[in-house]
Amino acid sequence: MFGNLFEEDEESFSAVPTGGNAAKATDAEPPPPRGSVKLSGIKNQGGTCYLNSLLQTLLFTPEFREELFSLGPEELGSLADKDKPEAKVRVIPLQLQRLFAQLLLVDQQAASTADLTDSFGWSNSEESSQQDVQELNRILFSALESSLVGTSGSSLIHRLYHGNVVNQIVCKECGNTSERQEDFLDLTVSVKEDFLDLTVSVKGVCGLEEALWNMFVEEEMFEGNNLYRCSRCDHLVTAAKSAKLRKLPPFLTVSLLRFNFDFVKCERYKETGRYSFPLTINLRPFCEQTDRPDSEFTFELFSVIIHKGGCYGGHYHVYIKDIDQLGHWEAPDEESKPKVQKKEVKVSEPEVEKEDPLSVLVGILSQEEGKSVLVDQLGQKLLDRIGISWNRKFRKQYGPIGKFLQSHSEVFMLLANGTRVTLKASSPAPGAGTRADLTRLRPGPAPERATEEPEPRPADGGRWFDLNDSTVAPISGKAIEKQFQGKESAYMLFYRRAGLSRPEEAKGNPSYRVPPHLVQLAQEENCQLQQRREEFDASRNTIEVRLHLAPQYQVTNGALQPVGRGQDSVITITFDRRKTVGDLRLAVYQMQDLWEGDMALTVAKSLPAGLHLYNTLSDDQQSLYSAGVRDGSDLFVWNGREVGGASVQTGAEWEPVLLTLVRPSLEEERRRRRRMRGRGRGGAGDAGGAGLRRTERGSRAGPRWGP
């Protein structure tokens, strides 16, 4: 799908961009700073949400991030030399280092991946086309391995992500285990398979644990007419073929096969059924070697890449656990709401039966080989165990045995389309059925607490965030369960070995193990961003205001008219509209050295009749923006009472209106009189008539004046 988009030149290790992204347009407005979560998102270049989700996962994998940072310029070269033909510059890891440093240290809401995708050799069409994140994960790792050959990081991907699976055939007579390729009838099956990620089935299974059980515990039997020739027994015997995890990497990547093909309809479709996966999983039952401590087999979920949409398009985002507490986590709104108090209901403690079904069934399964049994045989084993059948002892209270198993999915796991049942790895030990268990199982009302307490705040390192391109938001651990099914559901899972610990100095320290030259670059970029923001804010908030000085005006017929030339009575100043009215008044005071007494600033407007005043800016603490002063506003500077000894009416109701009287000329008047006499009409009544024309409509309450 990606072709050779990640390939670098073998001689120079320098990738030459093949697309049209050499010159990236930069917005005039600087990027906004990080939000309250203190984490940075990644800009979407048009269809790169899948890339953003994977990059954020790698960033929040501390061991990967720090091993990448440990590679210095002496091994990777310098980006400044990438165009020199003799230089050996490993562009992809260098750009990945720079991007990680920006995400950790640069104060911006979202970082750009333009330089990184240029190092891939991507064109504009490849940046705007969505691809599959699972395939991207494999090819990106392969590209990194190729790019790091000959450096101390050449085994980085292998050490952190490579695991392997072994296929075996076990003789049921002598116990001999064979891993010979010739013993497998299906020659397409490799005896030993390496993996970067485990691809597990979604169709027909209820969750990750069942899928792993089907892959690594279920056995294919060679029996009847299909016997196996054992090399040790030297004859045909009954045998079992199975697969086991031989090597577990520190970081286990699981890909869910949600996209399938319908051969009847000849079309692809997405599996949207419920598929659960645990926050913590013990992989011991699926491994070949089981004699190591539990810490070697216990893995914790720390990233879930989610796909929203169908198989022909959609959107990716990622849920990530902040292991190093780099972000500021706050409880989501739904968690911070107060819980409704409930009345305490007192109920009598139920009578505990001698044998409750949960502990009985757990005890039966724990004694079975592989801790599993056919559901049809479970009833008979129960009868043998307690001397009475399920239907006679438990059916009335708990229903059929199959329904009981399904309702306790936290303990039992149904396999092979519900025909076989096994215990989950986290199931209680035999005999662990307690009074509380029986209380939960028995019908009837359950005891309630006096108040429903809110979910406790997550422990340190247990804070989850939703990183959705440029947006980062805190979420609760329970939000992960919402991605078990539906159009928006989990697509890739990333587990981290529980035994891996983090040093205390890494907690809350985004610059931990970041190379000094990258820290310096980030600091310089922060200074530039701060300067750009200040300049942009200043340019966006700088306005021009025209000041009309009262000594240069007089009141004529109810309006203000300049005494001399109009341009001499107006002063234009530039001012920051975020400053207050008091700041502007002080600035005008400093400009007018000879001003005496009070100073009022009143919004004015030039009308045909003259300058008119409206509202006076009286609140010195109010910003000019809040006061309504805009670019090009007129302000009249006076004492607030009179101008040149004459009082001034202010407000919209006192707007002056200019009336122009139009009188006919003497010759026109004579012609009019002659026409009137010719028609036999007397013109005395019309003598001296004049036409009126209003050049501006004003308030009826305003004064009328004219020449």
Coil, helix or strand for 32?
A: coil
| Residue 186 to residues 142, 182, 183, 189, 241, Cα–Cα distance (Å) | 28, 9, 9, 6, 12
d(CA 562, CA 550): 9
Largest CA distance in the chain: 146
Q: What is the DSSP string of 595-621?
A: --S--EEEEEEEETTEEEEEEE---TT
d(CA 412, CA 207): 12
Measured distance between the N- and C-terminal CA atoms of the chain, rounded to whole angstroms = 85
b/e for 86-124, b at 16 or more Cβ within 10 A? eebbbbbbbbbbbbbbbbbbbbbbbbbbbbbbbbbbbbe
d(CA 225, CA 507): 62
Of the listed 49, 171, 206, 230, which one is catalytic? 49
Q: For the chain, state the CA radius of gyration.
A: 41
CB-CB contact of 464 with 473 (8 Å): no
Return the axis-axis angle of helices 62-69 and 91-105, rounded to nearest 10°: 120
Residue in this structure with the two tokens 């292998």, named with its chain if needed: 158
Of the listed 162, 287, 311, 315, which one is catalytic? 315
d(CA 204, CA 326): 39
Residue 33 φ/ψ, nearest 5 degrees: -70, 175
Contacts of 325 (CB under 8 A, 6+ apart): 460, 461, 463, 507, 508
d(CA 27, CA 199): 42
d(CA 49, CA 131): 9
> What does the DSSP 8-state code read for residue 295?
G
Residue 76 φ/ψ, nearest 5 degrees: -95, -20
Query: Has 49 been annotated as catalytic?
Result: yes
For every residue of 379-405, which 3-state class applies, written as one string?
Answer: HHHHHHHHCCCHHHHCHHHHCCHHHHH
Coil, helix or strand for 146?
A: helix
Query: Has 158 been annotated as catalytic?
Result: no
Residue in this structure with the two tokens 């300058």, named with its chain if needed: 611
Residue in this structure with the two tokens 């319908």, named with its chain if needed: 262
- Dihedral sign computed on CA atoms, order 676, 680, 684, 686: negative
Q: Which residues are catalytic?
A: 49, 315
